[in-house]
Amino acid sequence: MTTDGPSQQPTAAGWLGSMWLYTALRFGLFFALWGLLVLLGLGGLFAALLAMVLSVPLSFVLLAAPRRRFAAQLEARLDSAREGREALDERLSGGEEP
């Protein structure tokens, strides 16, 4: 998926999209578990608390790929910003260290 060149510049839309997708999937997992627990006859608040406890470890397993994609895009964005700052520092310093 990674290619060299300026066309692969990380964008805010890319990492925001990944973040919102992961967030929606986390909420979806929670509400699916909550609904399943309510259908099994557990009370609303107890079912919500149990769904919250169960959704955390399940999200680590079931949502590993979207979380990895979001983390990679965020890391690429931070690296790009760091490289931009280093290039600006280099230009401002005249290219030579005193």
Phi-psi bin for 95: left (phi > 0), alpha (psi -120 to 50), beta?
left
Q: Dump pLDDT digits (tens) for 27-75.
A: 999 999 999 999 999 888 999 999 999 999 999 998 888 888 888 888 8
User: Residue 6's pLDDT is what?
Assistant: 44
User: Residue 85's pLDDT is what?
Assistant: 86
Provide the 10 A C-beta neighbour count for residue 70: 21
User: Residue 70's pLDDT is what?
Assistant: 83
- Residues 95, 57: Cα–Cα separation, whole Å: 50
Listed by start position, the domains of the chain span: 29-79
Q: Residue 23: pLDDT above 60?
A: yes
C-alpha distances (whole Å) from 71 to each of 17, 22, 39, 44, 87 are: 12, 11, 35, 34, 24
User: Residue 51's pLDDT is what?
Assistant: 95
User: Residue 66's pLDDT is what?
Assistant: 87
The residue to which tokens 């990895």 are assigned: 68
Q: What is the mean pLDDT of the chain?
A: 82
- Residues 41, 3: Cα–Cα separation, whole Å: 52
User: Residue 55's pLDDT is what?
Assistant: 93
- Cβ atoms of 66 and 18 within 8 Å: the answer is yes
